[in-house]
Structure 1
Amino acid sequence: MRTIGLFSGSGSLEAGLEAGGHECLMLCEVSEPARRVLASRFPGVPVAHDVSDLARLPSCDLLAAGFPCQDLSLSGGKAGFDGARSGLVREIFRLIDANPVPNVLLENVPNLVRLNGGRWAGALADAFEERGYRWAYRIVDARCALPQRRERFFMLASRVLDPSEVLFGDEVPPPSAPFEIGRDPVGFYWTRGASGLGWAPHCTPPIQGGSAKGIPSGPAVLLPDGRVVKIGLRDAERLQGMRAGGTEAAGGEAARWRIVGNAVAEPVAEWIGRRLACHGRPEGLSTRPFGGAETAWPQAASGGPGGGRMRVAAGPLPFWRPRGGLETYLRDAEPLSARATRGFLARAARGRMNFVPGFIEAVRSHLEAVERAAGGWDLFDAAA
């Protein structure tokens, strides 16, 4: 398929689709650092500046858009499509109305389905049905291909194919992965501790563009050998399925963290691309109608004009790609500084969270080791 990307950011959604066998014709991104990244990753592909200024699109088979999530995310204002940022989704439908496109792929945070009982998922379904599109959506976790826990909402709408045949394939359960402190790595947000931790055995919590403290930094990982490390930018790029250093064209670290934190996990986009190229009727997934008195929207669903809306029993792991352990991605990690570790432990002590036995003790041991190695002066304080 010939694709056009809107709100392109790092270009990870479009790059994944290309890896799945499709051709990118055009991109659109307003952020200058991200535009530099797109120019480096997609040489020769035109990059429009502001989606609001677009009137005409080249003829294409698929319009892909990871539109802004700020008004839909758990940490945002929760204004949904009434917000100034997430409300830009209306630009997508304006362009569809002016430029008939057979297929549309949307990406956003999973809270889009949960916020206000699924009001905004319903708004998308209504908008597509009014325009004659069948649609399907599901939540997909990047853990199916990478050691990062990262759930994202993907919605495919089409006038020419059945989106259910693309997004709902044969489910492949992941291998069993027991966890034990001191034997297995676990990721967590070192900037939290009092409430919320991002606890992620065998992987990291979602890579973010900035921490809860406003620090452009990645999460921490407690390794089996007892060290606590903070992942580096290049590690974060690897954990998104990107080439390490793939966002260097953006410039400074803060801009790069923002771009990487907003990216789509490329192997997930590649899976969608391959399913678009070769799809089939799903088997073994139960469905049932929903709507009417129901107030919550499901994690996966399908529908279309003139037809009923169906709840689909699809989990967040539609496939499983073998890969190395989390440690193999951490080639640029640094020890979590004594100052940062003390801050985390202080927040944990003030809060009321129940931690896995042995976790807090392991973090304290890391603090003692860092202080001992520095002779009382923390070499890593500057990197806190």
Structure 2
Amino acid sequence: MSRSLEVTAIFGGIGGLELGLHRSGHRTTLFCECDREATAVLRRHFEGVPIVSDINCIEEVLGCVSPSSNLLTAGFPCTDLSQAGRTQGFAGGRSSLIRKTIALLEQRRFAHVLIENVPNWRHLHRGEYMSEVLSELERLKYRWAYRTIDALAFGLPQRRRRIFVYATALEGGGDPRDVLFHGNFPAEKSLHGLHEAAHGFYWTEGNRGLGWGEDCVPTLKGGSTISIPSPPAILMPDLSVITPHLQDAERLQGFPAGWTDADSQIQVQGTQQFNQRRRWVLVGNAVNVEVSTWIGERLANLMPYEGDRGTPLIPGDPWPEAAWYDGSTRYAASIGTRPVDRPRQRLANFLHHPGTPLSLRATDGFYRRIDKSRLRLKDGFKDAIKVHLEKMRGAAIVSLPATPKAPESAVLSLSTS
């Protein structure tokens, strides 16, 4: 029998988590989101759902929560946890906002809690921030399970691993493994020649890594190692180098194309339009909709998990890719990142737009970095980047305005002076 949960969404972003839950039969009755552009997107697509702006104002948030809401979602900011961010952990001012969610749970209990963040959450500073959140859930009498899930498993050509924590109240909330632990497929190991498939990489990197993707793009993200939101680059099978169109990025995240085109909604609010760069931030920070839809389906149609309990976790050991807590003991789970195994769409065929050639400046900086680095690069990759660099240099020369010819009178004047 299917069930429908009523969602209170903290850190709603552009609604990637909630869109997937809606597609699975659940409904959102409150968003909490402070970003101006993100709230414009939410108003456009979740019409009529109230939005409060500040999780710090817990009493205001609590006053807007529906009495029948039974699922709290929190895809909290990864700014201080991500390897592409400041890695300050909860000493930073953004990721530590998950503590406000815990404070809200202390005052208003939800039977179900769903939390999402980056894989580095379980590694950073020996896992102390993961420990803090899970320990707080235990203190508040929740069972929990978490699993690292890769969007590649869902057929989208984007490698995107994220940790999902699902917690249930001890008093009749059920086993959280019944939602997260179903399906365990082996990882793909396919390699392609440069002419056989498109390859994604981050042109903002090149010193210690590339974010390399075989027939896929690396994780779309809201920032970069050079502190700007930027799309990845793609080396196409014809060896052209492009950056994908924003609408294709939205589709890589499981959204319909144009999801973040909310300028009209912003104008209604009497504020200025936001630019493409801000839209890249919103898309890069979003929860993948295909993954959240799968979780929503598992929440709606519970099936008992029949796997083993796993191995008891030893205090102080690193956090594994998946684990759970039964109310008294923590266990490591031998379960991978692929709960499903849907046929992957080929990246070159997935793109609906031609993309934009990687600029001369971006290509030049990237080539300089990989030329000096000790990275092991795929055969032919550096040569392909050099060819693209020369092509862009040539295009830049052609596009330079011609030097104006001096008037004949001026030439005569110069020659006789």
**Aligned residue for 1:337?**
359
CA shift for structure 1 position 274: 0.5
**Aligned residue for 2:181?**
168
CA shift for structure 1 position 285: 6.0
**Aligned residue for 2:341?**
320
Question: What SS does the corresponding residue of 1:156 show, helix, strand or coil?
Answer: strand
| Aligned counterpart for 2:193 among listed residues 156, 180, 183 | 180
Residue-by-residue CA offset, 1:11-63 (whole Å, 9 max, x unaligned) = 11111111122111111101111110110110111111111113222231200
Question: What SS does the corresponding residue of 2:204 show, helix, strand or coil?
Answer: coil
**Aligned residue for 1:367?**
389
| Counterpart-to-counterpart distance in 2, 1:365 and 1:161 | 58
Does 1:194 pair with 2:217?
no
| Aligned counterpart for 2:53 among listed residues 38, 49, 52 | 49
| Counterpart-to-counterpart distance in 1, 2:380 and 2:197 | 12
Question: What SS does the corresponding residue of 2:123 show, helix, strand or coil?
Answer: helix
CA shift for structure 1 position 176: 5.3
Distance 1:287 1:133, change over 3 A: same
**Aligned residue for 2:406?**
none
Distance 1:82 1:287, change over 3 A: same
Distance 1:154 1:378, change over 3 A: farther
Distance 1:351 1:244, change over 3 A: same
1:133-148 alignment, distance < 5 Å: 133-145=142-154, 146-148=156-158
Residue-by-residue CA offset, 1:60-114 (whole Å, 9 max, x unaligned) = 1200011111121113333322332111111111111211110000001111111
Distance 1:123 1:216, change over 3 A: closer
CA shift for structure 1 position 175: 5.6
Distance 1:173 1:100, change over 3 A: same
* Contact residue 39 and residue 51 of structure 2 kept, 8 A: yes
Question: What SS does the corresponding residue of 1:365 show, helix, strand or coil?
Answer: helix
| Counterpart-to-counterpart distance in 2, 1:345 and 1:157 | 46
CA shift for structure 1 position 284: 5.0
Distance 1:182 1:286, change over 3 A: farther
Does 1:157 pair with 2:167?
yes
| Counterpart-to-counterpart distance in 1, 2:244 and 2:301 | 36
**Aligned residue for 1:252?**
275
Name the count of aligned residue pairs: 376
Question: What SS does the corresponding residue of 2:262 show, helix, strand or coil?
Answer: helix
| Counterpart-to-counterpart distance in 2, 1:170 and 1:28 | 32
| Aligned counterpart for 2:112 among listed residues 103, 115, 118 | 103
Question: What SS does the corresponding residue of 1:377 show, helix, strand or coil?
Answer: helix
Bigger radius of gyration: 2
Deviates further, 86-95 or 167-176: 167-176
| Aligned counterpart for 2:71 among listed residues 59, 62, 86 | 62
Measured on the aligned residues, the alpha-carbon RMSD in Å equals 1.9
* Contact residue 67 and residue 89 of structure 1 kept, 8 A: yes
Does 1:22 pair with 2:26?
yes
- Supply the AA of the counterpart residue of 1:150: R
* Contact residue 222 and residue 284 of structure 2 kept, 8 A: yes
TM-score (norm 1): 0.93
Question: What SS does the corresponding residue of 2:131 show, helix, strand or coil?
Answer: helix
CA shift for structure 1 position 174: 5.4
| Counterpart-to-counterpart distance in 2, 1:378 and 1:337 | 14
Does 1:3 pair with 2:7?
yes
| Counterpart-to-counterpart distance in 2, 1:102 and 1:280 | 18
| Aligned counterpart for 2:137 among listed residues 93, 115, 128 | 128
Residue-by-residue CA offset, 1:159-195 (whole Å, 9 max, x unaligned) = 1121111100021335652322221111001122122
Residue-by-residue CA offset, 1:314-351 (whole Å, 9 max, x unaligned) = 11111122353112332331111233222211111122
- Supply the AA of the counterpart residue of 2:129: W
Does 1:37 pair with 2:37?
no
| Counterpart-to-counterpart distance in 2, 1:42 and 1:353 | 45
Deviates further, 262-271 or 124-133: 124-133
CA shift for structure 1 position 216: 3.4
Residue-by-residue CA offset, 1:273-318 (whole Å, 9 max, x unaligned) = 00111232334567111123x421111000043x211100111111
| Aligned counterpart for 1:287 among listed residues 281, 285, 310 | 310
5+ long unaligned stretches in structure 2: 264-273, 401-417
| Counterpart-to-counterpart distance in 1, 2:295 and 2:197 | 31
Distance 1:76 1:139, change over 3 A: same
Residue-by-residue CA offset, 1:192-223 (whole Å, 9 max, x unaligned) = 21222111111101112233334432000111
Question: What SS does the corresponding residue of 1:52 show, helix, strand or coil?
Answer: coil
CA shift for structure 1 position 136: 0.3
| Counterpart-to-counterpart distance in 1, 2:380 and 2:229 | 29
**Aligned residue for 2:413?**
none
Does 1:228 pair with 2:227?
no
5+ long unaligned stretches in structure 1: 380-384
| Counterpart-to-counterpart distance in 2, 1:241 and 1:170 | 20
TM-score (norm 2): 0.85
Residue-by-residue CA offset, 1:90-146 (whole Å, 9 max, x unaligned) = 111111121111000000111111112222222122111111110000111111121
